[in-house]
Amino acid sequence: MMRHGGGRGWHGRVLAAALGVTAVAAATSVWTAQADPTGGHSSHAGASAGAAAGAAAGDQGKVAKVAVTIAHASDKGDRGVNITIDDGPDPHWTPKVLEVLREYDVKATFCMVGTQAKAYPDMVKAVVAAGHRLCDHTVSHDTSMDHKPESYQSQQILDAEKMITDASGGVRPMYYRAPGGAFTPYSRQLAAGRGMRPLGWNVDTKDFERPGTAAIVATVKQELHNGPTVLFHDAGGDRSQTVAALREVLPWLKQQGYSFGFPVR
C-alpha cells in the first residue's frame, strides 16, 4: 500500500487543529488507556491510571474481534466493488457524494477523520441513515503515525472511534484505515480488537490531487484489475472532480457487470 503524496496542506491544518484534542485526550480520556488488544496493559508511556485502563478493557470485552489482516476483498465476491470515501465528513461535499451514491443505489464505506466527525455530526448521521458504513481514519490524519509511539497510535485510533461513534448517535466504525496506509502490527491488532477490520485499497484514484475528472475515471478503469476497493475523497478541498467522476464510474461499473458491496470483515 502506497502513501498518499505530499502537498496535502489541509491535512497539516487538521493535524494542527487536533493537537489540542490530542493533548487533552491523552491525559483524561479512558479511550487513550493503553489497553493491549489481547486484554493486557501496555507498559508504554502514556498509559492512564488503572481505573481508566480497566474501564477501557471492560468496554473492549463487549466488542467482537475481527481479523487483523488488511482487508481488500469485497463481500460481493469476485465481481464486487467497494467504494470507499475518505477524510470527511465535509458539510459541502459529503452531501453531494451522498446524492450521487443514492442516485445509483450504491452503498459505500466512509473513512472519517475524528475531528471532522465531531465538527459535523449531522453529516455522520446522514451517512449512517443512508445505509453506508463507517470507518475510523484517526483523529488527525497523521500519515507518519507508524513512526510514532504506541501510546500515540492508540490515542489516534481510539479517540477517533469515540468521536465518530458519538457523532453518529451510537453507530460504531466497522473498519480502520490508517492515513496514507501507515499501518503497524500494533495499530492493526488494536483496531481489530475493537471490532474494526484494518482496511486497505486497491485503486487509488488520486482524486485529492485534482488531476481532472477524465483522469480519475481512467485510473479506475485501468487499475480495477488490481482489486475491488477503490479510494475516493469527500473532504480536503474542492471535490467537484470526485463527484463528477463518481457520476461516470458508478454506471460504468454496473454496465461491466459489477455489483457494489462492502469490504470483508
Catalytic residues: 86, 233
- Report the candidate in 27, 2, 3 with the shortest Cα–Cα distance to residue 155: 27
- Report the candidate in 159, 140, 172, 141 with the shortest Cα–Cα distance to residue 46: 159
Q: What would the DSSP string read from start to end of 107-175?
A: --EEEE-HHHHHH-HHHHHHHHHTT-EEEE--SS--TTGGGS-HHHHHHHHHHHHHHHHHHHTSPPPSE
Distance (Å) of CA 264 to CA 18, 45, 56, 167, 259: 31, 34, 26, 24, 14
Strands (E) located in the chain: 80-86, 109-112, 133-136, 175-176, 197-198, 203-204, 229-233, 259-261
Q: What are phi and psi of 47, to 5 degrees?
A: -65, 140
Q: What are phi and psi of 177, to 5 degrees?
A: -115, 120
CA 130 to chain centre: 17
Do 258 and 82 form a contact (C-beta atoms < 8 A)? no
- Report the candidate in 143, 146, 153 with the shortest Cα–Cα distance to residue 35: 153
* CA separation for the pair 174, 93 (Å, rounded): 23
